[in-house]
Structure 1
Amino acid sequence: MEIVEKVVKLRYHILGALVLCLTLISLLVMASSPRLMSLFTYFWPLFLSTALVLALVIFFAKTPPFSPTDASSFHNAAQGLLDYVAGHHDPPFDARHKSD
């Protein structure tokens, strides 16, 4: 009776372990087929770039945000860049001394 209670208590762990084992066995069986290996060799750059992008997303998600003092200087720099792109800037040279 005591064993049955422990099995019922751990039923989700046992089912998870069985699913994991079946998944690993099926992957090993499929990996032995040449079609699956050719797909892996064809798409390995895509898998690698996706893994790198996910790693960068996780890295930047853990990076702390700007402090309030940095935010004001960032806002000023961004505003200057927006003004430059919008055309509200002085030309870098004097138009009267332009060489033709």
Structure 2
Amino acid sequence: MDSITAEEVKRRLEQGEQLNIIDVREDDEVAEGMIPGARHIPLYDLPMRLSEIERTDEIIVVCHAGVRSAKACEYLEYMGFSGLKNLEGGMLKWHELG
């Protein structure tokens, strides 16, 4: 599974790039903030909401620390998605960037 750093995601967003980001955290976690432009689909909802995920060349998956998003990447790959990237360190790393 490929990964991407929070620094790279932030840099690309600041350059105006439109990224396909899926946030698989729980509702209460998302209430604390999300990466701009991310789509919230909790991990437990993925099987029922696959049609909501745009099949782009790159799909960045994020959670709190990177464990659930890694599981989500594995599942999505099994379901035929490609270009999946796990955000290293998840939102913990994102918040460190300020």
Instruction: Considering fraction of residues, name the structure with more helix.
Output: 1
Q: Which has the higher contact order (CA 8 A, sep 6+)?
A: 2
Instruction: Considering fraction of residues, name the structure with more strand.
Output: 2
TM-score interval w.r.t. the shorter chain? under 0.3
- TM-score, normalised relative to structure 2: 0.19
